Amino acid sequence: MPKTLDGQLTMEKTPSYFVTNEAPKRIHSMAKDIKLIVVVRNPVTRAISDYTQTLSKKPEIPTFEVLAFKNRTLGLIDASWSAIRIGIYALHLENWLQYFPLSQILFVSGERLIVDPAGEMAKVQDFLGLKRVVTEKHFYFNKTKGFPCLKKPEDSSAPRCLGKSKGRTHPRIDPDVIHRLRKFYKPFNMMFYQMTGQDFRWEQEEGGK
């Protein structure tokens, strides 16, 4: 990590930390007062997005339906498949709470980050003890991508949008598979809401579809 001067914050982003068993202990031994930010989204959508990303690099992989089940007839979900396992957030959080208090962790809603990026960024800035510099005027919604882009209101430079790997069209997944995945994740989601004290409303979101 680079040296941090007074009045500066050093940030580093690695999504795999949250699901790596050794990470909390190592990070705690390096800087126990560190502030942690975790972006989470509906684990069903997250699993399909994960698969879509892999599919773009390896078009020969089996279908999502084949990979998601240990036994399709019995409806047994294969929780050892990383695309599924990563979305069991309660399991990973349990590991982190052995080393860090909840007050040092901010959970950002991936869904709200798309529909209200300024609102979620306000929470991030408050959590880090920063002035609310990034506001509504710094975002515009890119309809092609389906994501907000970041812009600098003070100059005319091109807005910064997410790269090619984001916003890919998801393959069509059998609705029965999605239903079974929702049932699989529901108890873990409830546990996660309880642990964080936040309701991410993933069940309501699904019920409305």
Tokens of 29: 């031994």
Element (H, E) at 141: strand 139-142
Tokens of 31: 């800087």
Q: Which residues contact 193 (CB under 8 A, 6 or more apart)?
A: 199, 200
Tokens of 85: 């396992």
Q: How many Cβ atoms from other residues are within 10 Å of residue 165's Cβ?
A: 10
Extract the annotated binding site for 3'-phosphoadenylyl sulfate.
41, 49, 166-170
Whether residue 87 contacts residue 43, with contact meaning beta carbons closer than 8 Å, is answered with yes
Extract the annotated binding site.
41, 49, 166-170
